[in-house]
Amino acid sequence: MRESEINAALTELNKTTPEIEASAFVSKDGLIIASALAAGMDEEQLGAVVASIFSFSDQATTELGCGTLEQVVFTGTERRILVIEAGLHASLCIIATPTAPLAALFANAERAAQCFTNPRGPVVSLKYDASLDVFVHDGGLSPDEQAALNILQPAISKALPFLVNRFYELLMEDPDIALKLESQAEAMKVPHLAWLQQLFIPGHGQSFITVQRQSPAFKNLAAIPPVYIASSIAFLRVALPPLLAVNAPVQPRNNDALLRLFDLCQYLTDPEYGKVFEAFDNVKMQRAVARQA
């Protein structure tokens, strides 16, 4: 892989997870192969430390009978460090804030390592999504709204099986759809419900989108025609709030958070949906230029 492609993979990795402060590919003997470091960070020191971490951890893993070392995680009061293998002769080191979600770090680190170790194949882009940044900033979930979703999560988990069943019942009432689905409806319910159940995890910004796209539950949605996924989101927008009003304390803020999450789901499952927000991004840029003039 060319040096420019490796550097691009690191830059994209840092953008994809805002909590990442620095990242680098390091050889097993401590040489920096490529890096995207914060100002003031010492490359030589980082390379030496990473090589020592991986060497010691590899020895400990062997002696304790843990098999082959795959990753090492340190969490301190100031930073979280993740080191994973990137082929036989290198490792990827990520330095992030201590609150960085591990699931997002692991998912993004594995994809960046794949870019490094697959020089003959196509480079797997992390797909930093500028329009999503606009979407999350202008229409995304605030910390209070995320907290509200966490409060609602138990009631939502109980309601979803009933609602998914009800959604497919409504679909099958249409003779044309019933003819198309035939015996597939029951099989479609399983991945559909599994995906919906995992949506209510803490953190619904860029890392949420990335983790969701990497999850097996999301990939299993490929077996379901997209129109039914979009229809189910529209159905839940209408059906879920009244149900929660009976079984959970639904206040206006909680309801707003729920509807915003469904917008994120729409973005997640329909790539064309994000193009709506490109106009907002262009307006922002035009206003910024006008202010500087």
**Of 55-59, 106-110, 239-243, minimum mean pLDDT range:** 106-110
Measured at the alpha carbon of residue 135, what is the angle toward residues 131 and 137, in degrees to the nearest 5? 115
- Mean pLDDT, the chain, whole residue set: 75
pLDDT band at 134 (very low <50, low <70, confident <90, very high): very low
pLDDT band per the 50, 70, 90 thresholds, residue 250: low
Ranked by mean pLDDT, the top range of 65-74, 126-135, 207-216 is 65-74
d(CA 231, CA 266): 10
Identify the band that residue 2 occupies on the pLDDT scale cut at 50, 70 and 90.
Answer: low
Torsion sign over Cα 10, 146, 134, 291: negative
Decide which of 51 and 5 is more confident: 51
212: pLDDT strictly greater than 60: yes
Structure confidence at residue 231 (pLDDT): 85
Confidence grade of residue 1 (pLDDT, cut at 50, 70, 90):
very low
What's the pLDDT tens digit per position in 87-100? 777 888 999 988 88
Q: At 127, is the pLDDT very low, low, confident or very high (cuts 50, 70, 90)?
A: very low
User: Is residue 126 scored above 60 in pLDDT?
Assistant: no
Lowest-confidence pick of 27-31, 163-167, 246-250, 266-270: 246-250
pLDDT for res 123: 38
pTM attached to this predicted model? 0.47
Q: Which domains does the chain have, with CATH numbers?
A: 3-126 (3.30.450.30), 132-292 (1.10.490.10)
Give the pLDDT score at 137: 46
CB-based contacts of 200, cutoff 8 Å, min separation 6? 149, 150, 152, 153, 156, 157, 261
Q: Could you read off the pLDDT of 34-47 as tens digits, one per residue?
A: 888 888 888 889 88
pLDDT at 101 over 50: yes
